[in-house]
Amino acid sequence: MSTDSFINVLRRFFSVRGPAKLLRSDRGTNFVGACKELDINTDNSAVKTDLHGKGCSWVFNPPHASHMGGSWERLIGVSRRILDAMLLQTGPTRLTHEVLSTFMAEVMPIINARPLVSISTDPDMPEVLTPAMLLTQKVSTISAPSGNFGVPQLYKKQWKHVQSLADTFWKRWKGECLSTLQNRRKWTKDKPNVKDGDIVLLKDSQAHRNEWPMGLVIKALPSSDKKVRKVEVRIVQDGTAKVFLRPVSEIVILLSKP
């Protein structure tokens, strides 16, 4: 997706959902390009200025830190895997723009209807909080139209084609989503924060054989809970000093400054 395309996507999103207070994303070139195109200044990878005066800030994950977007990356991965499998099964059939856009509109409430946490203490009337409730301020969700929308319906009418695809996505999404509702592993022991002046080894997947890039932490960037999750590291390559922003999971402390 180009920068122009992403800006249009962002405008469509705000037009439907209203202005947002906070955007989080990875460092995709289209995201960074949109910041430049919209004259948004960045400081330590966190957007400090308002987006079009709407009071919206934009926070980037540090490079090589896709795990920091674990929650949304997991949803993207599951959705993409299902969609890829479905579209590969359609064979030579091409989805028209109207069918595809309507299908993706059907996919959106399916994803946003996933349960987050129980909000009812009445065992006779259990109720769970969903993203759709937060987005629409409505408890009820859109129901599927009545009728049979199996594979034979794919080539009869476009609206039945959409509903058949939506039913297929729902069946696969339900099976995939259930596994994500299990308890996630968490760190249970506190470790000392990385400090300025620590000597570290970078986990660089692009490093050549027998190269061990080492550097000096010149700035630790603590989060709101005072935990350091990303740092600025200075290394010297071919006689030139370079500064990289990296998550703490991508470095190994060799010598900690006392």
**Lookup: tokens for 175:** 């099976």
Query: DSSP code of 184?
Result: P
Tens of pLDDT, residues 122-148? 655 667 788 888 888 887 777 777 777
Q: Can you give the residue range of the structural domain that contains 232?
A: 199-255
**Residues 108 and 204 grouped into a single domain:** no
The 10 Å Cβ neighbour count of residue 72 is 11
Rounded CA gap, 194 and 228, in Å?
A: 6
**Residues 81 and 127 grouped into a single domain:** yes
Residue 4 contacts by C-beta under 8 Å, 6 or more apart in sequence? 37
**Residues 12 and 41 grouped into a single domain:** yes
**Residues 10 and 50 grouped into a single domain:** yes
pTM of structure: 0.63
**Residues 84 and 174 grouped into a single domain:** yes
Question: Looking at the 3D structure of the chain, how many domains does it have?
Answer: 3
- What is the radius of gyration, based on Cα positions, of the chain? 23
Q: Please, are residues 256 and 198 in contact by the beta-carbon 8 Å criterion?
A: yes
* Among 149, 180, 211, residue at a domain's last position: 180
**Residues 44 and 78 grouped into a single domain:** no
Tens of pLDDT, residues 53-103? 556 777 788 877 777 777 788 888 888 889 888 887 655 567 888 888 899
